[in-house]
């Protein structure tokens, strides 16, 4: 067996209603004045007020920062940190999707130490500690509540990651009640993102390990079982709980066995056209799977047995069944299937391929080597979905 290292959060609370019991965690962590980081959309639909009221009722009034933008820019991080610094907070809570959680993670570091934001990017660049941190996801997607990563938008078309075990929160709180109102399109996009995390962790070339494998398999089972119901019947509590746990397990898997070419080719689409992260993954997923087939077929065949129970045939046939199942699923949850349908200009494909090649940090994890010409072929296939 290959030696491996596995990091995750010290505590995971998975219980309906647990977002209304954050005071317990605050007390345990010695937090008396938390900063609550969220986005304006969640405030508008009334998701945040009960959490604030519950903290208030326990004598722990939170300072609210509710200005997180999707794909958060550095200015959002700095603004949240300024609010927290001004108020003298002693802990950070996020209630929201990957965008709010990623902002909270970096803010906890900025307020807990003296490093400037610019010095945090990259792997293991965080030197000091951080404020106590509790992350409460409201999307079933990024798994950010259990990953050591925060993704920040640094320029017009570029994002940068802060990657450090310091970013793992003290507590991750999975309360599926918060996800009941997640709109169908967001449910579909974030759900496919989570499925990609599971698939790419399972085939991750360098750090794949027995723990990440088991998490990825169970994540894919939960997500594959529940995604259609979660999209089409948002009030289905069992489906929502399955999705939230599935996304979290996929997050634990890829936090330790990193994602690869799907994410590498997805990032330029987010950067140039502001297509949501989950959809960018969905758009290139079937074509990357088809490209990887020569090297990944045996692992894809194993995953097919999870997504297509009773699938039969040899390795090639079962692996092909996985790609077919993914295409069917993308169709069922009503996401656009091609780059053309998503409005990506065909003449941009060579530029996108060059951009994707900059993601070597991710491409090294891919089961098959991706050269520039391959990236272009994958985008061409995804443009017309003919792979």
Ligand X SMILES: NC(=O)c1ccc[n+]([C@@H]2O[C@H](COP(=O)([O-])OP(=O)(O)OC[C@H]3O[C@@H](n4cnc5c(N)ncnc54)[C@H](O)[C@@H]3O)[C@@H](O)[C@H]2O)c1
**Footprint of Fe ion on this chain (CB under 5 A)?**
193
18 binds ligand X, rule: CB under 6 A: no
Look at residue 244 and give the partner it binds from ligand X, Fe ion, none, a contact being a CB closer than 5 to 8 Å depending on partner kind.
none
Q: Distance of CA 56 to CAs 51, 59, 116, 310, 372, Å? A: 9, 5, 32, 52, 55
182 binds ligand X, rule: CB under 6 A: yes
Length of the chain: 387
User: Which residue number has the CB closest to Fe ion?
Assistant: 193
The single residue among 34, 84, 91, 97 that binds ligand X, judged by CB under 6 A, is 97
The single residue among 8, 100, 209, 282 that binds ligand X, judged by CB under 6 A, is 100
- Greatest Cα pair distance in the chain: 63
Burial of 266 (0-12, 13-18, 19+ CB in 10 A): buried
CB 123 within 8 A of CB 164: yes
Whose tokens are 């723990």? That residue is 211
213 binds ligand X, rule: CB under 6 A: no
Whose tokens are 């077929």? That residue is 297
98 binds ligand X, rule: CB under 6 A: yes
The single residue among 15, 24, 27, 45 that binds ligand X, judged by CB under 6 A, is 45
Q: Minimum Å distance from CB 139 to ligand X?
A: 4
Nearer Cβ to Fe ion, position 179 or 280? 280
19 binds ligand X, rule: CB under 6 A: no
CB 335 within 8 A of CB 188: yes
Q: Minimum Å distance from CB 96 to ligand X?
A: 5
Nearer Cβ to Fe ion, position 177 or 193? 193
Q: Which residues contact 218 (CB under 8 A, 6 or more apart)?
A: 246, 249
Q: How many CB atoms lie within 10 A of CB 50?
A: 14
How, if at all, do strands 159-163 and 149-153 pair? Answer: antiparallel
- Helices 261-273 and 184-202 sit at what angle, rounded to 10 degrees? 150
Nearer Cβ to Fe ion, position 65 or 202? 202
Look at residue 280 and give the partner it binds from Fe ion, ligand X, none, a contact being a CB closer than 5 to 8 Å depending on partner kind.
none
144 binds ligand X, rule: CB under 6 A: yes
Q: Which residues contact 227 (CB under 8 A, 6 or more apart)?
A: 187, 188, 191, 192, 195, 239, 243, 329, 333
277 binds ligand X, rule: CB under 6 A: yes
Q: What is the dihedral of CA 95, 100, 105, 111, to 10 degrees?
A: -90
Taking the alpha carbons at both ends of the chain, their separation in whole angstroms is 35
258 binds ligand X, rule: CB under 6 A: no
Burial of 256 (0-12, 13-18, 19+ CB in 10 A): buried
Q: How many CB atoms lie within 10 A of CB 228?
A: 16
Q: Which of 330, 378, 382 is nearest to 192 (CA)?
A: 330
Identify how many contiguous H helices and E strands the chain contains and give both numbers. Answer: 14, 9
Q: Minimum Å distance from CB 186 to ligand X?
A: 5
The single residue among 18, 99, 212, 287 that binds ligand X, judged by CB under 6 A, is 99
71 binds ligand X, rule: CB under 6 A: yes
Look at residue 287 and give the partner it binds from ligand X, Fe ion, none, a contact being a CB closer than 5 to 8 Å depending on partner kind.
none
Q: Minimum Å distance from CB 59 to ligand X?
A: 27
Nearer Cβ to ligand X, position 153 or 209? 153
318 binds ligand X, rule: CB under 6 A: no
Nearer Cβ to Fe ion, position 267 or 300? 267
268 binds ligand X, rule: CB under 6 A: no
Give the full edge-to-edge strand order of the sheet including 122-123. 122-123, 159-163, 149-153
- Over the window 344 to 373, marking each residue x when it contacts ligand X by CB under 6 A and - when it does not, the resulting string is ------------------------------
Q: Minimum Å distance from CB 76 to ligand X?
A: 10
Look at residue 178 and give the partner it binds from ligand X, Fe ion, none, a contact being a CB closer than 5 to 8 Å depending on partner kind.
ligand X
149 binds ligand X, rule: CB under 6 A: yes
Residues that bind ligand X (CB under 6 A): 39, 41-42, 45, 70-71, 96-100, 102, 138-139, 141-142, 144, 147, 149-151, 178-179, 181-182, 186, 190, 277-278
């Amino acid at each position: 067996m290959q030696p491996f290292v596995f990091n995750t959060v010290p505590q995971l609370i998975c219980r309906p209603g647990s977002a209304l019991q954050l005071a317990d965690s605050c007390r345990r962590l010695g937090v008396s004045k938390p900063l609550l980081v969220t986005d304006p959309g969640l405030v508008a639909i009334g998701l945040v007020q009960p959490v604030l009221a519950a903290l208030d009722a326990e004598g722990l009034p939170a300072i609210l920062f509710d200005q997180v933008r999707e794909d958060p820019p550095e200015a959002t991080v700095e603004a949240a940190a300024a609010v927290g610094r001004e108020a003298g907070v002693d802990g950070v809570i996020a209630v929201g999707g990957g965008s709010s959680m990623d902002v909270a993670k970096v803010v906890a570091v900025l307020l807990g130490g003296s490093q400037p934001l610019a010095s945090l990017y990259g792997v293991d660049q965080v030197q000091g500690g951080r404020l106590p941190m509790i992350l409460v996801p409201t999307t079933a997607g990024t798994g950010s509540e259990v990953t050591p990563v925060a993704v920040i938008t640094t320029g017009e078309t570029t994002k940068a990651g802060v990657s450090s075990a310091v970013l793992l929160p003290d507590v991750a709180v999975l309360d599926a009640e918060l996800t009941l109102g997640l709109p169908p399109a967001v449910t579909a996009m974030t759900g496919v993102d989570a499925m990609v995390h599971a698939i790419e962790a399972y085939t991750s070339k360098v750090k794949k390990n027995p723990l990440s494998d088991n998490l990825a398999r169970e994540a894919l089972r939960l997500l594959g079982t529940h995604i259609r119901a979660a999209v089409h019947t948002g009030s289905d509590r069992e489906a929502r709980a399955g999705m939230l746990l599935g996304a979290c397990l996929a997050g634990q898997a890829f936090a330790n066995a990193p994602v690869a070419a799907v994410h590498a080719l997805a990032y330029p689409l987010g950067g140039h056209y502001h297509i949501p992260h989950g959809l960018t993954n969905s758009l290139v997923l079937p074509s990357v799977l088809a490209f990887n087939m020569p090297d990944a077929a045996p692992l894809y065949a194993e995953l097919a047995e999870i997504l297509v129970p009773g699938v039969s045939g040899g390795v090639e046939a079962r692996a092909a069944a996985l790609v077919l199942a993914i295409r069917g699923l993308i169709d069922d949850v009503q996401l656009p299937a091609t780059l053309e349908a998503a409005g990506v200009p065909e003449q941009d494909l060579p530029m996108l391929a060059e951009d994707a090649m900059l993601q070597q940090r991710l491409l090294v994890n891919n089961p098959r080597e991706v050269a520039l010409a391959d990236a272009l072929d994958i985008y061409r296939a995804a443009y017309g979905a003919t792979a």
